[in-house]
Structure formats: C-alpha cells, structure tokens
Amino acid sequence: MPFPATRMSVVLPVRDGEHRIVRRVERVLDALADMTSGQSEVVVVDDGSKDTTLEVLHELKSRYPQVRVVRHSRPRGLEAAGQTGLERSTGELVFIQETDSEVRIEDMRRLLRMSEDTSVVAARAESTPKPLSDALLRRLSAWGTKVSEKADQIDQITKSSLQMIRRDHLQTLVGPRGNSYRLQGETMLSTSMEPVGDPEGE
C-alpha cells in the first residue's frame, strides 16, 4: 500500500557509472512509484565522471521527467555529492545513498516507515550483506534453484547505507539547537535475493 502523498527525493551519487547507473535509477523509480502516491524525484549527482556517465544520465532524463542531473566538474567525493544532491532536491523526505552502489529498496522502506513518527527528523540505515548459509544453498538447490553459482556474487556485494532527512527540520539541524538532537542508526545483516540483471546494463 503506497505511503500517503509525500513528495520524496532520492539522491544517488555516481562516478564513472556508465554501465550501472541506468538500472540503479530505474529500480529506484519503480520503488518510488510503489511506495508513495505523491510526486517524487531522483537526483543523480555525477561526481566528475571521466566516462560517458553524463551522456547516459541526460538520455535517462529525457525518458523520465522525475530524473534530475547535477554534475561536479571534478571529483569531490561521495559525501560532497550527497550534500549537493540534498541542496538541489525538493522533496519533503530526502533519501541520500552514501555509497556508489545499488540502493537496497528494503532500507528505503524501513526509513519510510520510521518517518511515520514525526519526531524522527533524520535516520540512517546500513545493510551489510550476509553470505547464504550452506544449509540454505542445499535447500534451494534441492528445489532446482540455481543459486550456488551466485553465492560468490552475493559475498562481493558492498554494504549499502542510506540516510533519510526530513526537509522541514533542516534549518533546526544546522542551527544552534542542532547539537541537542541525537542521531540513531540501525544496521541490518541481510541476504537479498532480488533479481540482479546484467551487470553491464545490456
């Protein structure tokens, strides 16, 4: 069931991601359409890519009006890219991916559920992939599921961390009273069996 009409922004930093950014953006757009009945946007911050990432992003923008593209003329780092995206975003709730990797959609859902408590002004979810157990692999294989060759790929997935900030509290957080707020984080060990697709985007 979609979340009430709340304008949401998702900030995605990327550098030299010509082969992976299309799938990442499309997955987030699909998730946003499922999560909220309000307007949403994906703000992609190209952190000084040297490949054709910028051209790929402009093509994406022409296909999806919800996509906005911002570029750093030189690499400034993921933290700076996240800050740039936050400044350029317009959503009431802003999700910022802290890594140049796939967004874990379940983390978005967890943070969105947390936002139902209006006292939560900012939150962070971090997921660290946990390898499939041998018992689970055997059980899946017994049912004819070809997952054994994917186990190594799961082990190589980097951790994902996502921030959520409620825009109407930004001024409070950066003001004199900001230090009185305590940021609570949550880490989850998880194994995701979502469809992956072609890593080269073909």
Count of domains for the chain: 1
pLDDT attached to residue 198: 44
Q: Percent of the chain at pLDDT above 70?
A: 66
Instruction: Answer yes or no: is pLDDT of 176 > 60.
Output: no
Q: Is residue 153 part of a domain?
A: no
Instruction: Answer yes or no: is pLDDT of 1 > 60.
Output: no
Q: Is residue 150 part of a domain?
A: no
Tell how far CA 29 is from the center of its chain: 11
pLDDT attached to residue 137: 65
Q: Is residue 141 part of a domain?
A: no
Q: Is residue 151 part of a domain?
A: no
pLDDT attached to residue 129: 62
- Mean pLDDT across the chain, nearest whole number? 79
Q: Is residue 140 part of a domain?
A: no
pLDDT digits (tens, 9 = 90+) for 72-108: 999 999 999 999 999 999 999 999 999 888 899 999 9
Average pLDDT over residues 60-80: 96
pLDDT attached to residue 102: 87
Q: Is residue 122 part of a domain?
A: yes
pLDDT attached to residue 19: 94
Instruction: Answer yes or no: is pLDDT of 10 > 50.
Output: yes
pLDDT attached to residue 194: 47
More confident residue, 196 or 138: 138
pLDDT attached to residue 90: 93
What's the CATH code of the domain at 162? 3.90.550.10
Q: Is residue 134 part of a domain?
A: no
pLDDT attached to residue 179: 54
**pTM of the full predicted structure?**
0.74
Residue 86 CA to residue 34 CA, distance in Å, equals: 22
pLDDT attached to residue 167: 84
pLDDT attached to residue 180: 52
pLDDT attached to residue 172: 61
> Domain of 42?
8-126+158-186
Q: Is residue 61 part of a domain?
A: yes
